[in-house]
Amino acid sequence: MLCIQILEEETPIKIMEASRELYQLLSLTSGVDEQNSNYKHDLQTASGKAIATLWAAMCIIDFLRTQRFFRGIHQAVIDSKQKYPGEKINILYAGSGPFATLALPVMCLFSSDEVSFTVIEIQETSVQCLQTILEYFDFQEYVYVLIQTDATRYELEKSKKIHIVISETMQHALEKEPQVEITMNLAHQLDDETIWIPEYIKIDASLMNKKKDDGRQMGILPSNKSSYINLGTLFNLNKKCAKKLFKNLSEFDKVQFKLSEKNVLNYPCLVLMTSIHIYGDQYLMPWDSGLCAPRIVADLSNYNPMPEQVIFWYETGSSPGFHYKFLYS
Ligand SMILES: C[S@@+](CC[C@H](N)C(=O)[O-])C[C@H]1O[C@@H](n2cnc3c(N)ncnc32)[C@H](O)[C@@H]1O
């Protein structure tokens, strides 16, 4: 019921309350305990950090994120059922955390004859908690298989059609966690028809004025647009580009921007902005969620001389993220 409430509710405070309640319920049911250090170990992998069970559980509380993913995934299942009448919709969920949070509304609203999940999670304690959750809510029959493995290396069963892929294994500016490598590994194994959730994750470079942003947050400025100016897009992660990157990592472009003195004086903070198209009409835009919080790169008011240009590039590996270099004449 709480899942449906989060899916349908329009009032932000009520979405927040329902998300907190759902977190409490699932924590109690699975035994995820905020005081227990066993649930607080991040796992460092060759493609980034797999966050600890407790932090993955707490993602629910990022309530607009949770609601918009719920809505996008719900719509994707409805659209897939229409496109493939009579077929069971197979969903691959990479990085489920301890609750498979993003799958729960689908399990509540559709029958196990209509949908089936392949669930991948690398953290052992999260897999154990998820087994408890699935048993408790009688959701085992929705799960074709639950595998504790690394989604950046996982080889899909060739004979099984996957209609939808869900993965939210990211932090803002696509740093630290392995969203990019997971998308690369899975996209190259699937056809162009597969729905990806999120459809795309776009990173822009911007110049921001923190004082104007404080004003915006306090409601003094009406629109967030005036607290920053966009320099341009650095990277748009989607299934097409992930396939290309799998074949050739050098497809990561280096992107260069001019830093005009006038703009830097008015907007001195160089930041990375994250926007996410989940599916259909569901988006997360800068400031909507922790995933889209501006990532501060540098406060240019501290620079003398002021850089004239900046070059950005993305690197995968154990500490994924953007790197940058300033250029001076
Ligand atoms: C940000 S949490 C999201 C949890 C949940 N899907 C949600 O949206 O609330 C990401 C999850 O992905 C898992 N993960 C990270 N890297 C992974 C990998 N390479 N293979 C499988 N799971 C991974 C983490 O352990 C964590 O549970």
Residue 112's domain is classified under what CATH number? 3.40.50.150
pLDDT 10s digits, 105-157? 999 999 999 999 999 999 999 999 999 999 999 999 999 999 999 999 999 99
Domain boundary among 182, 199, 216: 199
In this structure, what token pair is assigned to residue 26?
């699932």
CA distances to 65, 201, 250 from 287, in Å: 11, 14, 31
Could you tell me if 96 and 167 are in contact, meaning their C-beta atoms sit under 8 angstroms apart?
A: no
Q: Which residue has its alpha carbon closest to ligand 1 atom 6?
A: 96
Q: How far is the CA of 143 from the centre of ligand 1 (A)?
A: 17
Looking at ligand 1, which atom is closest to the CA of residue 95?
12
Residue 220 has pLDDT above 80, yes or no: no
State which residues form the domain around 70. Answer: 2-199
Looking at ligand 1, which atom is closest to the CA of residue 151?
20
Instruction: Compute φ and ψ for 168, nearest 5 degrees.
Output: -125, 85
Q: In the prediction, which pLDDT does 192 show?
A: 94
Report the predicted TM-score, pTM, of the whole model to 2 decimal places. 0.96
Q: In 3D, which of 111, 125, 168, 103 has the Cα closest to residue 33?
A: 125
pLDDT 10s digits, 84-99? 999 999 999 999 999 9
Question: Domain check: are 47 and 98 in the same one?
Answer: yes
Q: In the prediction, which pLDDT does 225 show?
A: 57
Radius of gyration of the chain (CA): 21
Question: Domain check: are 8 and 70 in the same one?
Answer: yes
Q: How far is the CA of 304 from the centre of ligand 1 (A)?
A: 41
136 secondary structure, DSSP code: H
Ligand 1 pocket, mutate which of 20, 40, 51 (most atoms under 8 A from CB): 51
- Cα–Cα distance measured from residue 191 to residue 164, given in angstroms and rounded to the nearest whole number: 11
Q: In the prediction, which pLDDT does 19 show?
A: 98
Q: How far is the CA of 168 from the centre of ligand 1 (A)?
A: 7
140 secondary structure, DSSP code: G
Looking at ligand 1, which atom is closest to the CA of residue 98?
27
Q: Which residue has its alpha carbon closest to ligand 1 atom 1?
A: 169
Q: Which residues pair with 206 in a beta bridge?
A: 230, 271
Residues 231-265 as b or e (16 or more Cβ within 10 Å = b): beebbebbbebbbebbeeeeebeebebebeeeebe
Angle subtended at Cα 308 by Cα 255 and Cα 286, rounded to the nearest 5 degrees: 55
197 Cβ neighbours under 8 A, 6+ residues apart: 69, 72, 73, 76, 164, 165, 166, 167, 278, 279
Question: Domain check: are 165 and 28 in the same one?
Answer: yes
Q: In the prediction, which pLDDT does 208 show?
A: 96
pLDDT 10s digits, 8-65? 999 999 999 999 999 999 999 999 999 999 999 999 999 999 999 999 999 999 999 9
pLDDT 10s digits, 166-217? 999 999 999 999 999 999 999 999 999 999 999 999 999 999 998 877 766 7
Q: How far is the CA of 270 from the centre of ligand 1 (A)?
A: 29
- Cα–Cα distance measured from residue 265 to residue 268, given in angstroms and rounded to the nearest whole number: 6
Question: Domain check: are 170 and 210 in the same one?
Answer: no
Question: Domain check: are 216 and 122 in the same one?
Answer: no
Q: How far is the CA of 149 from the centre of ligand 1 (A)?
A: 11
Could you tell me if 95 and 64 are in contact, meaning their C-beta atoms sit under 8 angstroms apart?
A: no
Angle subtended at Cα 201 by Cα 197 and Cα 204, rounded to the nearest 5 degrees: 170
Domain boundary among 199, 231, 263: 199
Q: Which residue has its alpha carbon closest to ligand 1 atom 2?
A: 56
Question: Domain check: are 170 and 251 in the same one?
Answer: no
Question: Domain check: are 128 and 230 in the same one?
Answer: no
Question: Domain check: are 160 and 18 in the same one?
Answer: yes
Residue 251 has pLDDT above 80, yes or no: no
Residue 77 has pLDDT above 60, yes or no: yes
Question: Domain check: are 177 and 242 in the same one?
Answer: no
The helix/strand/coil state of 112 is coil
Looking at ligand 1, which atom is closest to the CA of residue 96?
6
pLDDT 10s digits, 252-272? 889 999 999 999 999 999 999
Q: Which residue has its alpha carbon closest to ligand 1 atom 24?
A: 50
Confidence of residue 1 (pLDDT cuts 50, 70, 90): confident
Q: Which residue has its alpha carbon closest to ligand 1 atom 4?
A: 97
Question: Domain check: are 24 and 168 in the same one?
Answer: yes
Q: In 3D, which of 262, 268, 273 has the Cα closest to residue 205?
A: 273
Question: Domain check: are 140 and 8 in the same one?
Answer: yes
- Cα–Cα distance measured from residue 170 to residue 314, given in angstroms and rounded to the nearest whole number: 14
Q: How far is the CA of 48 from the centre of ligand 1 (A)?
A: 11
Domain boundary among 176, 199, 222: 199
Query: Which residues have CB under 6 Å of ligand 1?
Result: 45, 47, 50-51, 56, 59-60, 94-97, 101-102, 120-123, 126, 150-152, 168-169, 178, 182
67 Cβ neighbours under 8 A, 6+ residues apart: 6, 7, 9, 15, 19
In this structure, what token pair is assigned to residue 277?
């198209």
CA distances to 274, 295, 300 from 215, in Å: 21, 18, 20
Q: Which residue has its alpha carbon closest to ligand 1 atom 23?
A: 95
Question: Domain check: are 195 and 206 in the same one?
Answer: no
The number of angstroms, rounded, from the C-alpha of 319 to the middle of its chain's C-alpha atoms is 16
